[in-house]
Amino acid sequence: MTEPELHTLPARRGRAVRLKKGESIRIINTHGQQVVDTWAFNADDLREFMSMEHLRASLERIFPHAGDMLVTNRRRPILAFVEDSSPGIHDTLMAACDSYRYGLLGCTTYHDNCTDNLHGGMGLIGLTPPGCPSPLNLWMNIPVVEGGRTQWGEPVSKPGDYVVLRAEIDSVVAMSACPQDILPINGAACSPTEAHYQVLR
């Protein structure tokens, strides 16, 4: 069996891929400190999508682990979380970054952001998402501490860590290499990097 083609998720950019039911995607944290905001849509009806608020109710846990089934806003499986070589720290709590966020962080000119990257990545394959659902933020480290307070942690993953997600229905998976370079979400260097992905057919 030949190794599946390795695709680049460029730094600060978005990409989207179609997966048939049963196909999987391996998302690779090539340099080890990069958060990848991840969405999944029903390929036949983009109004059905992976939903963090429905996922938390389904899992009865705020963070998913390998072995979990990820569900949609219609509470049915869309992706199986099959493998995770990293310590399993991912986030379901925080919205994708957007122009408004960077404005509040002091930016006075356009800043790349995950919300626009969702639209850009899906646009490259001819699709328009119905808004920006709350993403599964792979490798984003948001500890919930005393009093329900959250912290903006650094990823605890290492170079080459990956997750494998298997489509339970015909799906579109979108990813954004988070361009956050003001908070240390993508590591203390605040230097967002590329990531990679492979489709496993």
Cα gap 99→118, rounded to integer Å: 13
Binding segment for a copy of itself (CB under 8 A), chosen from 9-17, 46-54, 157-165, 191-199, is 46-54
Q: Work out whether 144 is an interface residue with a copy of itself (CB under 8 A).
A: yes
Cβ atoms within 10 Å, residue 4: 14
Rounded to the nearest whole angstrom, what is the least distance from the CB of residue 2 to a copy of itself in the complex?
39
The total number of residues written for the chain in this structure? 201
Rounded to the nearest whole angstrom, what is the least distance from the CB of residue 196 to a copy of itself in the complex?
27
Site residues for a copy of itself, 83-112, by CB under 8 A, read 93-95, 98, 100-101, 103-104
- The C-alpha torsion from 75 through 131 and 115 to 18, rounded to 10°, is 60
Nearer to a copy of itself, 17 or 79 (CB): 79
CA Rg value for the chain = 16
183 phi, psi to nearest 5 deg? -100, 155
Long-range pairs for 108-116: beta carbons < 8 A, 24 or more residues apart: 111/179, 112/12, 112/13, 112/179, 113/179, 114/14, 114/37, 114/176, 114/178, 114/179, 116/14
Q: Work out whether 18 is an interface residue with a copy of itself (CB under 8 A).
A: no
Rounded to the nearest whole angstrom, what is the least distance from the CB of residue 158 to a copy of itself in the complex?
21
Binding segment for a copy of itself (CB under 8 A), chosen from 53-61, 77-85, 153-161, 166-174, is 53-61
In three-state secondary structure terms, 161 is strand
Q: Work out whether 46 is an interface residue with a copy of itself (CB under 8 A).
A: no
Q: Which residues bind a copy of itself (CB under 8 A)?
A: 47, 51-54, 56-57, 60-63, 73-76, 93-95, 98, 100-101, 103-104, 130-131, 134, 144, 147-152
